[in-house]
Amino acid sequence: MEIIQLKRTVRQGFVNFWRNGWVSLATVLVMVLTLFVFGGLFFSNVLLTSALEQLEEKVDISVYFKTSAIEDEILALKSSVEKLAEVREAEYISREQALLEFEERHRENSLITQSLEELGENPLGASLNIRAQNPNQYEAISRFLESASFENIIDKINYRQNQLVIERLSQILNSSRAMGLGVTIVLAVIAILVAFNTVRLAIYTSRDEISIMRLVGAANSYIRGPFLVEGVLHGFLASLAAMIIFWPLVAWLGPKAERFFGGPNLLDYYFSNFLWIFLMLLFIGVVLGVISSLIATRRYLNK
């Protein structure tokens, strides 16, 4: 008996969806809009995150060692720096490597090459490029390096010179993230409310039918069932439609955004994560449709 009721509920949901033509279409369209907002937020987050990550990559501090510093001491310092939780990576550039790079960089400049030759020895010290997990951790790393035990080998740390820029950048990164999250939440809430109210309106048009069904002796669960099936249908069709709309959009916007943000090409991203994005939109759409239907029908069933 249970299975027969389930079968009837599903069939009735499909039949109602079809016969309520315009109401169904309007509901799906609003749901498409909602999912489009969610998808749009998702893609913007992908771009924003990659742009911020690239910006973060550009921030590091360099420690310049005295020419007299012994390599073993520097390597010992490097390994102790690497043990810090705040440090993501530390790259050692030896004196020879530094000279090579310097010569390479100034090959065209005969004055510099000449003076280097006249000098006869390598004037450059070794250096260590340090990247933090998070831009606001450079202060702590720099303080660690400035502690007394390394004083005799370290020539200078460029953090103090760049401190202002790094701090400003770190602030911008943090506030961009916070703003992105804030905008995402606000838009998502608006989208959810719009979808919810549309479903409520659609069910409002069926309130008389619900009361008739009750009078005829239909149990509440049996009345509600088809509305939930319709909710699932709305969510499914809307997520499908949203995915289809995103295709030409990311194809058009992808290369432009790639140039502007330097992030991944959205079209490639769309195709390589197609299933994942679709499942996400499907989940949001179905949950939204079902929960809205559940709340909206409850009002007329609990009278």
Angle of CA points 185, 191, 193, to nearest 5°: 100
- Chain residues binding other proteins by CB under 8 A are 1, 4-5, 8, 15-16, 19-20, 208-209, 212-220, 222, 302
What's at 219, amino acid-wise? A
CA 285 to chain centroid, in Å, comes to: 20
Nearer to other proteins, 14 or 252 (CB): 14
Cβ of residue 217: shortest distance to other proteins, in angstroms? 4
Question: How far apart are the C-alpha atoms of 119 and 126, rounded to whole Å?
Answer: 18
Nearer to other proteins, 156 or 214 (CB): 214
Cβ of residue 6: shortest distance to other proteins, in angstroms? 12
138-146 and 71-82 helices, crossing angle to 10°: 140
Nearer to other proteins, 9 or 142 (CB): 9
Nearer to other proteins, 3 or 85 (CB): 3
Nearer to other proteins, 42 or 222 (CB): 222
What's at 276, amino acid-wise? W
First to last CA, the chain: 27
DSSP 92: E
- Helix (H) or strand (E) run with residue 63 in it: strand 61-65
Nearer to other proteins, 19 or 58 (CB): 19
Cβ of residue 275: shortest distance to other proteins, in angstroms? 36
Cβ of residue 213: shortest distance to other proteins, in angstroms? 7
Cβ of residue 292: shortest distance to other proteins, in angstroms? 20
> Kind of pairing, strands 87-93 and 154-157?
unpaired
Cβ of residue 215: shortest distance to other proteins, in angstroms? 6
The region that residue 233 occupies, defined by phi over 0 for left and psi between -120 and 50 for alpha, beta otherwise, is alpha
